[in-house]
């Protein structure tokens, strides 16, 4: 791999990891997860330096942490600009509107992927019967339960089988196909 490719790979990883952490903060607040959980505490400490100043400008709305979503969109735009700048050797002009549309589409894609993997991890964890008091298990359950509970209520009893994850995963895949996010 050439040095430019390695730099792009490294920057893509760093931006994607931080976008994941900021999105996790948004999802934790949306799901009203336990903020005394060690994982939640890590997420809070990792995101506070950028979110505190942004929250002074962008308040929450109806229980939603709008500043977190705005930060995710800004990070997606910055990531695209930095990587494009390295690839092309500069920043092309006249891409503002396209960049905002790209960022919103990428936000939808990242959010759907996030939910997909959280549900899939919960399914795998249910097979190995982990300690329900494990901080990671508790966070995964708290994140996925608001999505899976309404689906579970719609399904008839299946004799002890919970098919709600299957329908949630299929629904996410359908949304990604409909909006051509992959």
Closest CA to 181 of 173, 17, 22: 173
DSSP of 90-132: S--SS-HHHHHHHHHHHHHHHHHHHHHHHHHHHHHHHHH---T
Q: Is this structure's pTM higher than 0.75?
A: yes
- Integer Cα distance of 31 and 24 in angstroms: 10
Confidence of residue 129 (pLDDT cuts 50, 70, 90): confident
Q: Residue 108 in contact with residue 76, Cβ under 8 Å?
A: no
Query: Are the beta carbons of 148 and 164 closer than 8 angstroms?
Result: yes
What would the pLDDT profile of 11-49 be if each residue is shown by its tens digit?
A: 999 999 999 999 999 999 988 888 899 999 999 999 999
Q: Give CA–CA dist 86/147, Å, rounded.
A: 39
pLDDT in tens, 64-82: 889 999 999 999 999 988 8
Residue 165 and residue 149: Cα distance in Å, rounded?
10
């Amino acid at each position: 791999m050439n040095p430019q490719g390695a730099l792009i790979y490294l920057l893509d990883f760093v931006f994607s990891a931080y976008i994941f952490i900021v999105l996790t903060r948004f999802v934790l607040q949306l799901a009203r997860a336990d903020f005394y959980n060690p994982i939640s505490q890590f997420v809070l400490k990792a995101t506070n330096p950028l979110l505190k100043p942004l929250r002074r400008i962008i308040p929450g709305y109806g229980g939603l942490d709008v500043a977190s979503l705005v930060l995710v969109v800004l990070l997606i735009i910055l990531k695209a600009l930095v990587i494009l700048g390295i690839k092309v050797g500069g920043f092309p002009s006249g891409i503002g509107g396209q960049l905002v549309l790209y960022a919103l589409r990428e936000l939808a894609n990242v959010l759907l992927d996030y939910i997909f993997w959280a549900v899939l991890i919960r399914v795998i964890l249910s097979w190995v019967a982990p300690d329900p008091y494990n901080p990671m298990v508790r966070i995964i359950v708290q994140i996925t339960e608001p999505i899976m509970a309404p689906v579970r209520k719609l399904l008839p009893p299946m004799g002890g089988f919970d098919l709600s994850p299957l329908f949630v995963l299929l629904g996410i895949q359908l949304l990604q196909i409909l909006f051509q996010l992959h």
